[in-house]
Chain A
Amino acid sequence: MITSNPRHLRGSYDVIVVGGGPAGLEAAVAAQEAGADHVLVVDREPEAGGILLQCIHCGFGLHRFGEELTGPEYAQRVVKQALAHRIDIVTDAFVLDIDLQRRVKLMTREEGVSLVEARAVVLAMGARERTRAAARIPGARPAGVFTAGMAQRLVNLYGWLPGRRAAILGSGDIGLIMARRLTLEGVEVAGVFELMPHPNGLNRNIVQCLHDFDIPLHLSTTVVEIHGHNRVEKVTVAPVDGDLRPQMERAWEVECDTLLVSIGLIPENELSEQLRLRMDPVTRGPVVTSAMECSLNGVFACGNVVHIHDLVDFVSAEAMLAGRSAGLFAIGAPLRPDNVRLLPGENVAYCVPHTISTEREHTVYMRTRRILEGCRLRLVAPDGRIVYEKRLRYVFPAEMVNLKLKPAILQHFHDDALRIDIVGRSAER
């Protein structure tokens, strides 16, 4: 695909985008369309496209392109779009630091380390995987414990098998997809183990990745110990009680030489933390305005760096917004201010963006804490008045809820904060 295209870096850019996945590439194009002449995308991998390049399965692009694509196909489309817009992309490169004046310390293969000025910066670094240590799985520390994403990279890009018989912890989509991938490549999958009483991935993946191959899914079960001095030899798994405490007396052992850990993603925010951006403790990403601007003027963010998305299509949408804002900021056009804070209320874990304007249309993304049926999503004023209510058939923590907010809804709203509640019947099963 594509590697670095600029022969030489400029000393300054209108917009520098950190990360060349879908978020970064879509933001770059939007920034240019908003008027920024010189846009640079920096990616640390040998080619732009992001993690989608290793997600060779289908299920991407229904919203963005109106057809179902594989990860590489989606990635290639956004890369080609960026190239068509003559965006500078530098790969195998790394942003070491960004200072408060938006001077970017950049490492590239061609020029080594240099300082490049940016009028605006877009953070689009994506996410990293939660590790075995983050889940504090006790036991030995042998080789053979991989995050699902690393195993995916090994198998799908490098063509290496991580082992012969694997157990998978976590039933998120990446874990399920890897169960199928390993099976198709001749690795036996001993089972998928999920701490929660419900699977965390799409039903489609439960059916097509597990049922199709008779791979057992053990709900309310977790890995309590890893065995093996040099290489994984087995894992002990145990059912958990209602408080998620392992019931050791019912534990059993699973022979395997590989454990894949697929227990969630965390926004990659090294740079955001270096910049001392205001962070949301729930999303673990930066707090953003409706223009996707962070707490530091001229710094924007989009994609999994802000909050973990389940569909890349929404990443694209968010990135276009962030890129457009960065482009406008870079050419000196004023960004219109927000006037209302959004606060997550009942059953709502977080909402993004963190502020909105009553004058414009917004898409608000949120996640619930519980599975609910027959729900009502409510916007509640500080005095308890319900400003807006919408029915939702169901909500799932694993599925992001999108709310289109039109200015008409908030026409007569004059307070400074809106709380978002989602109420409904509990439907844990």
Chain B
Amino acid sequence: MLFDVLIIGGGIVGCAIARELSRYRLEVALCEKEVEVGFGTTKANSGIIHGGHHAAPETLKGRLEWEGNQLWDDLAADLGFGFARVGELTVALHEEQLPVLDRLLHHAAVKRIPGVERWEPARIRSEEPALSHDILAAVYAPTTAVVNPYEACYALAENAVQNGVTLLTGLPVRRLHQKDDLWEVVTPGAYLASRFVINAAGLYADVIAAMAGVQTFTIHPRKGEEYLLDKRLRGLVKRVIFPCPSPVSKGILIIPTYDGTIMVGPTAEDVHDRTDLTTSARGAQTVFDAVRRLAPGIHEKDVIAQFAGLRAAADGEDFIIGPTAKRGFINVAGIQSPGLTAAPAIARRVVELLRDERLKLELRDDFIAKRPAPIHFAALSTQEQIALALRDPRYRRIVCRCEIVTEGEVLDAIARGACTLDGVKFRTRAGMGRCQGGFCTIRCMELLARARQLPMTAVTKRGPGSWLVCARTEEEKASAT
């Protein structure tokens, strides 16, 4: 298969680029090694669209952060995923942190970010009563928002496919060869060729760059553990709460996620293994020690889920976006925080880079900008629920009772591309609630097996090797004799 542009990596960045490129008359492919998009760093992202004032204006990420921030309202409206500008508070607990607040105010002034202001304790207490009384001052930014990062990723990928992008999942890139004006992309299942290759491979961006013969940077995985709290704590804080940031991390936050559940984290720990997604007792302690200083009412006993993600930090800590010594090979690497925020702006930048590289860009007149939003039954009014259930019997059975997810939503998620239990979970929330799939896992497995015509033994949690059941009891018995 021959493409104009082939993107390696189906995280939020690769999907945003794919969707942006799908506006043009181009043959575009997105190549992802996992069986679904968004299964790497994106899935474990905190889901914050940063206010724009954290990163210094002179850095690339500082510019793309604010630029990206402003693109999210339209993106969410067009692609039908949840997005809420909840605002944030960065709080100072010690005298020596006060200059950090001044710096944030300065960034905001330089970037002309509206509404960023300093709050004194009285205001903080009346707006966020759960916060510690030890807080000396805070910087409030109304521009900060929350999304479900995987939802945004799925929406971008889906819309890109709607507009003709070829989505190739479960296809790791093994080798890259430059031959004349073409890049040959060798994968286990398919031989692909493309004029341009965009390296959006996240944690593996340096490996891909090395395949292209331009290893100019190294990725240093930095682990972040996150802890999701029981929904009875919903509303504990209304805004995202940041401590004053340190040089390597924005610190451990209290995040009112888009779904309303409170999440705390992430830690920041440099690790060597790019597959190390383990959580640790130490990580939990770090998180809860830190957040208790911000909000004393938060307790470990309320944890309903824990997970870890790896940030793809590059040497120098800034984003690496640009052409390389090898013509046609473009890096989009080192996209750590605020990478989610910046993703739409990164995608636009990549389009400009391709234009600079003399790729002919003609807007398509049949571009479909809007994706029909998936139905979230629990978010509908009673009248809407009644009407929907009346019209479509698939919305008359609850699959996940903690999060009130209907069979119709699960089937819709499968139709939109979910092929694993995690794919269903991240699209519908089935299995994300208190019981963590204790009740709905088997139903989701059955629905996947039926819709995708798989045997139950082939249904997986997140791809090859993550099987859930191994045999029929009677088969096992027969073979055991």
Residues of A participating in the B interface, judged by any CB pair closer than 8 Å: 44, 92, 94, 96-97, 105, 107-109, 112-115, 128-129, 131-134, 136, 138-144, 147, 149-150, 153-155, 158-164, 185-187, 224-225, 229-231, 257, 270, 273
Contacts and interface: CB of A to CB of B under 8 A. Distances in A.
A185 B473 contact: yes
9 contacts: A108-B396, A113-B385, A129-B435, A129-B438, A155-B473, A163-B470, A186-B477, A230-B465, A270-B402
Given A44-B398, A140-B277, A149-B438, A96 B473 contact: no
A236 to B, nearest CB: 11
A391 B442 CA distance: 47
Given A113-B389, A114-B386, A141 B232 contact: no
A139 B278 contact: yes
The residue among B232, B278, B460 with the most chain A CB atoms within 10 A of its own CB is B278
Given A129-B435, A154-B469, A139 B232 contact: no
Nearest to B300: A136
A230 B283 CA distance: 22
Interface of B: 228, 232, 275, 277-281, 283-284, 300, 303-307, 382, 385-386, 388-390, 393, 395-398, 401-402, 404, 421, 434-439, 441-442, 456, 460-474, 476-477, 480
A210 to B, nearest CB: 20
B434 A128 contact: yes
B442 A131 contact: no
Given A94-B401, A133-B305, A143 B278 contact: no
B473 A159 contact: yes
A150 B472 CA distance: 16
Contact of B436 (A94, A109, A132, A257): A132
Contacts of A147: 438
Contacts of A141: 277, 279, 307
A161 B465 CA distance: 16
A270 to B, nearest CB: 7
B389 A107 contact: yes
A224 B300 CA distance: 17
Given A107-B396, A138-B278, A143-B468, A150 B442 contact: yes
A133 B435 CA distance: 9
B125 to A, nearest CB: 25
Contacts of A112: 386, 389-390, 393, 395-396
A96 B385 contact: yes
Given A112-B389, A147-B438, A160-B472, 20 more contacts: A44-B398, A44-B401, A96-B385, A112-B395, A113-B396, A114-B386, A129-B435, A133-B303, A138-B281, A141-B307, A144-B468, A153-B442, A160-B456, A161-B469, A161-B472, A162-B468, A162-B469, A230-B460, A230-B462, A270-B401
A150 B386 CA distance: 31
A88 to B, nearest CB: 18
A143 B396 contact: no
Given A109-B393, A153-B442, A160-B472, A143 B436 contact: no
Nearest to B469: A160
A21 B279 CA distance: 37
Contacts of B465: 229-231
B306 to A, nearest CB: 6
Contact of B441 (A128, A150, A161, A229): A150
For the complex of A and B, the 3 pairs showing the least CB-CB separation, nearest first, are A112-B389, A230-B465, A143-B461
B450 to A, nearest CB: 14
